[in-house]
Amino acid sequence: MKRVLFVLLLLLSITNVGNAASLQDINVQLNQKEALITFFHLKNGEATLLQDGFGKAILVNTGGEGSSRELYSHLRAMDVNRVDAIIVTKEESPYNANISYFCKRLHPEQVYRTVPKDGVTLLKDQQSLPLSTKLHLQIVKKSSDGVNLLIQFGQIKLLYMSTDPSDENLQQPLQKVSIIKVPHFGEKPLGEPFLKMTDPHAAIIFHQRQSQPNAELLEQLSEHWIDVYQLAYVSVAVKLKEDTYQLITLPK
């Protein structure tokens, strides 16, 4: 099984290279029926940019310690000088280490966090975030460990997980999710009931310094025919239309 898994991952990596672009290449004018979600490769931590065709930009997490300039360089390459909001999905260093840095440079109108602090909006369970005309954002689970954010554009759903999904939280909105962002840098397998309900086509796994995704998780995703995109060496952009999407790998 491990030998088969290695071959599958090798074939996937070859496919991704053939679909490669650069951050500048995807800096295109979105029309009002399009959106772009970019998962950034960082030396440490998580950060994701949401953009719609109405000029809205939302930064989800701000990277870990030592990644502020790297992330800022990525944003500048995409000509992003400000954002409408920053969302912190987990109150730990790999997710929030650079919140002050980016609040000063990107001047967000709103900052959402999972714990009460001065000048921020507290994220709540089942809360809808009215930040975009066409990108619908909803908190589908909040716990002491973080929040899971469901992002929907037309018929396309993307589940951004920062905490483990549990069977009691499997709900109709989570059926037929196109893409999942795996929680905890892929340190352990996901629940089988969760994968059967969501039935994703692709999984995004952020890179954590001096760590590798769990081998059982990678084998599990392979057995479910889920394409795996690891951000150890590349960023990944998802170009969304109302009934389809395109995944693009973006080398450093």
pLDDT > 50? residue 44: yes
Domain 2-251 in CATH 3.40.50.460: no
pLDDT at position 2 is: 40
* Most confident stretch, 94-108, 136-150, 200-214: 94-108
pLDDT at position 210 is: 80
**Domain residue extents for the chain:** 2-251
Q: What does the pLDDT look like over 179-228, one tens digit per residue?
A: 999 999 999 999 998 999 899 999 999 998 888 999 999 999 999 999 99
> By C-alpha distance, which of 138, 172, 169 is closest to 152?
138
Is the full-model pTM beyond 0.85? Answer: yes
pLDDT-based confidence at residue 14 (cuts at 50, 70, 90): very low
